[in-house]
Amino acid sequence: MQPALPSPPNQTPGAPVRRRWARALAGRGSWWWVPLVLSVLFTVSVAVWLELSDRADLESRQRQLITDSLSLEAQITERVGEEQVQLNELAHSFDVSQSPAALAKQEAVVDGLSRLWQSVSWVDADTRLVAVVPDGIDIAERPGLSAHLSAPLRDAFGKPAGRLVVRYAPATLLRQTVPWWLAHEYDVRLVDGYGQVVADPLKAGDHEAPPEESHRHSLEPAMPDTYLELSLHESLRPWWLRLPIVMMGVFLLMISVATGLLRFQMNEVLRTQAALRTEAAWRQAMEDSLTVGLRARDVDGTLVYVNRAFCDLVGFGPEELIGRATPMPYWPPDAIDDSMSRHLRNMAGGAPRDGYEARWVRKDGRPIDIMLFEAPLVDASGRHIGWMGSILDITERKRLEERERHQTDSMAHQARLTMLGEVASALAHQLNQPLTSITGYAAGVKRLLERAGEPDPRLVDAMTRLGDQAAEAGRIVKRIREFLTRRSPQRETMDLVEAAHRALALLGRELRRLQLHVEWAVAANLPKVDADPVLIEQVVLNLVRNACDEMVGVPAAQRRLRVSISRAGSSAMPGASDAEGFLRLDVDDAGPGLRGRSVEQLVTPFYSTKPDGMGMGLAICRSIIEAHHGAFDASAGSFGGARFSFTLPVAGAWPSSELPLDEGQPAAHSQDHP
């Protein structure tokens, strides 16, 4: 293809055509009537168009009238449905065994009377009126027409016990439902099937609109035999009353002349605009290719420009940001004051030249960390008109830095715990000798008292308990030391119920301080289990102590603690081959509960819900239970708090070669055992 030849100098591409038309018109002097005829024809065509437009407007107004009527009918139906739901909830929660005066004290009744209801009537199963709220006002004496809602009442055994009937005024319903703009445009009222007015809150009076400017729509089933009627306030005036033909002809003539004179100039403007659009498209493509967010603000701080990268960063579209002034939608709600102070500093020209870090919030609520650089924005004349900002997303970098810091802290914490384990093992070794001495001294004192003849029984009993407790402490220290040195538990046939009682006896003072009575739910004829008594007592002790700590903030009258022991039974964890071969112990409390945390999260090492906790108590409990081939679980308790459970194998039920693996243990169940 050959390139197009340039136009001759001082000659535009359309000049020959314009000259031909000019010569043709100049040579035909008898065509003076052509503009007049064209004007008349144009005026007639406009008149026809106006007539058709009036008809189209009338149809459009009728469609809009029907649409508004359907919309208002939906709002009224929804409002009546909401009131019915409120009444159903009131009837469902209402206790029919109460006195009639209790109806007026119901919060839903008070809210309904302040909102829409005129009265609430309680009718028993024999259709006798039990109570009316407000009291002392005859329902028949209330002014105006009314509508009714009803809901069935049932007694404590689920049998029908009457109904609650609510009386409300349709006029009040209309006043509360009709939007102001709809009332400004239409006369809205309710009529019955005979055309009689049921409710006319806006006093439309006897105004009767033409059929094409009014519409009725049934409110069935929300309001039986009731119609919603909408009528237009103003009628559509015909076109000949709105547009003088002579003035329109003169105007069209002036427009024709002006169009002919401006045509050439418009062509030049269009060519200039095309060049500007091309340049703007180039600039937009370059800005969209950037990964750095850009924003421009005027001297008042109003956003005047954002690029695509900035919108992707904050999650808002350009239409939501352009023209937005402070506070910005991406500022953190809890740091508005800090963001405003930085904004005022930047508007005063005090932004750091090396940039500064800040935290914003995306539209979806996710926080992001950014690095922001500000620079003055000047126009072509060098006048300062605002500020241009470049924004980098440093959220991932900050997250990596936080992860590295957390890993460093975790490693330091783990090192401290390792050292603590070594110290505990050494301490347990050192405590064995003094505990043995205490046991020996207690036994010696007891024998000396018995030899003295008729000793005080209280002293003998005290020395006996002293020796027993010292021996028990020695066993506990020995087992803990063995556990810390990674030895297997010393299993023996033991009574789980007795071990639980011994563990709670050690916490007797703490339970009395909390005014907490322990409920026991122990099934009959429970077998013994194969376990280490000392370690199992420590597990029960830890679970009960955790429950007590959780109930410190609970009122004393609401504190409850239950220890349940039964066979694992039907609620064993899937995967166990024989759930009957396990006993289950549950500890239920009335504390705040798990608060959405799973058992895996609670037993994670170093995780603790206590400010001074080490995060190892539950983790050690779980390791002890799994070392006994049992399962450890946590769930919602029967008192509204938490339930911690574990299972242990029944003595003799599992041969040592057939003990289930840790991942297939029976899980603690969540039902109560009476």
Tell me the CA distances in angstroms from 168 to 104, 112, 129, one per residue in order.
17, 10, 18
What one-letter code names the amino acid at 181? W
Q: Is 0.85 topped by the overall pTM?
A: no
Q: Which CATH number do you get for residue 342?
A: 3.30.450.20
Pairing mode of beta strands 529-531, 160-168? unpaired
Three-state SS for 53? helix
Phi/psi at 637 (nearest 5 deg)?
A: -90, 170
DSSP assigned state of 224: T
- Tokens for 82, please give them: 């909401």
Contact 446, 468 (CB under 8 A): no
How much is the pLDDT for 478? 67
The verdict on 562 and 420 lying in the same domain is: no
In a domain, 406, yes or no: yes
The verdict on 442 and 507 lying in the same domain is: no
520 forms beta bridges with 563
In a domain, 11, yes or no: no
How much is the pLDDT for 587? 92
How much is the pLDDT for 585? 93
The verdict on 59 and 200 lying in the same domain is: yes
DSSP assigned state of 553: T
Segment 143-151 shows an average pLDDT of 77
How much is the pLDDT for 563? 92
In a domain, 622, yes or no: yes
How much is the pLDDT for 669? 32
CA–CA distance, 584 with 61 (Å, rounded to integer): 75
Long-range CB contacts for residues 322-329, cutoff 8 Å, separation at least 24: 325/300, 325/301, 326/301, 328/303, 329/363
Domain region containing 579:
491-664
Pairing mode of beta strands 384-393, 293-298? antiparallel
The verdict on 435 and 581 lying in the same domain is: no
Phi/psi at 348 (nearest 5 deg)?
A: -85, 0
- Tokens for 316, please give them: 């808002």
How much is the pLDDT for 414? 58
CA end-to-end distance (rounded Å), the chain: 98
pLDDT classification of 508: cutoffs 50, 70, 90: confident
Range list of β-strands (E), 534-674 = 561-567, 582-589, 632-636, 642-649
Segment 116-132 shows an average pLDDT of 87
Three-state SS for 64? helix
The verdict on 546 and 572 lying in the same domain is: yes
Alpha carbon 271 to chain centroid, angstroms: 54
- Tokens for 551, please give them: 């109930």
How much is the pLDDT for 583? 92
How much is the pLDDT for 381? 83
330-373 pLDDT, tens per residue?
888 888 888 888 888 888 888 888 888 888 988 888 888 888 88
**Is the predicted pLDDT of residue 28 greater than 60, yes or no?**
no
How much is the pLDDT for 203? 62
**Is the predicted pLDDT of residue 384 greater than 80, yes or no?**
yes
In a domain, 300, yes or no: yes
Contact 611, 601 (CB under 8 A): no
Pairing mode of beta strands 642-649, 293-298? unpaired
Question: What's the alpha-carbon Rg for the chain, to the nearest Å?
Answer: 44
How much is the pLDDT for 466? 77
- Tokens for 74, please give them: 């939906």
409-439 pLDDT, tens per residue?
666 555 555 555 666 666 666 666 677 777 7
The verdict on 450 and 525 lying in the same domain is: no
**Number of residues assigned to the chain:** 674
Number of domains in the chain: 5
241-266 pLDDT, tens per residue?
766 666 776 777 776 676 666 667 76
Q: Which CATH number do you get for residue 215?
A: 3.30.450
CA–CA distance, 359 with 314 (Å, rounded to integer): 11
DSSP assigned state of 554: S
Pairing mode of beta strands 129-133, 117-123? antiparallel
Three-state SS for 620? helix
70-107 pLDDT, tens per residue?
888 888 888 888 888 988 888 888 888 888 888 888 88
CA–CA distance, 109 with 166 (Å, rounded to integer): 10
- Tokens for 22, please give them: 């000019």
- Tokens for 149, please give them: 């809602």
555-603 pLDDT, tens per residue?
888 888 999 999 886 444 433 344 568 899 999 998 887 776 777 767 6
The verdict on 236 and 285 lying in the same domain is: no
In a domain, 560, yes or no: yes
Using the 3D structure, point to which of 439, 472, 505 is the last residue of a domain: 472
Range with top average pLDDT, 134-138, 307-311, 482-486: 307-311
In a domain, 671, yes or no: no
The verdict on 185 and 49 lying in the same domain is: yes
pLDDT classification of 135: cutoffs 50, 70, 90: confident
How much is the pLDDT for 572? 41
The verdict on 104 and 238 lying in the same domain is: yes
Nearest residue to 154 via CA among 132, 114, 196, 124: 124
CA–CA distance, 176 with 170 (Å, rounded to integer): 10
**Is the predicted pLDDT of residue 279 greater than 90, yes or no?**
no
Alpha helices in 203-307 (DSSP H): 245-288
Tell me the CA distances in angstroms from 166 to 98, 171, 201, 642, one per residue in order.
19, 15, 20, 43
More confident residue, 193 or 272: 272
How much is the pLDDT for 174? 84
Q: Which of 31-40, 45-54, 560-569 has the lowest mean pLDDT?
A: 31-40
In a domain, 172, yes or no: yes
Tell me the CA distances in angstroms from 501 to 74, 340, 416, 507, 541, one per residue in order.
65, 62, 34, 10, 10
How much is the pLDDT for 639? 83
In a domain, 24, yes or no: no
Contact 620, 555 (CB under 8 A): no
The verdict on 153 and 199 lying in the same domain is: yes
Segment 295-323 shows an average pLDDT of 87
How many Cα atoms occupy the beta-carbon half-sphere of 541 within 13 Å? 15
**Is the predicted pLDDT of residue 487 greater than 60, yes or no?**
no
pLDDT classification of 660: cutoffs 50, 70, 90: very low
The verdict on 237 and 354 lying in the same domain is: no
How much is the pLDDT for 271? 84
Contact 172, 190 (CB under 8 A): no
Average pLDDT, the chain: 76
The verdict on 281 and 321 lying in the same domain is: no
512-552 pLDDT, tens per residue?
888 888 889 998 889 999 888 888 888 898 888 888 888 88
pLDDT classification of 443: cutoffs 50, 70, 90: confident
CA–CA distance, 470 with 478 (Å, rounded to integer): 12
Range list of β-strands (E), 484-611 = 492-494, 518-522, 529-531, 561-567, 582-589
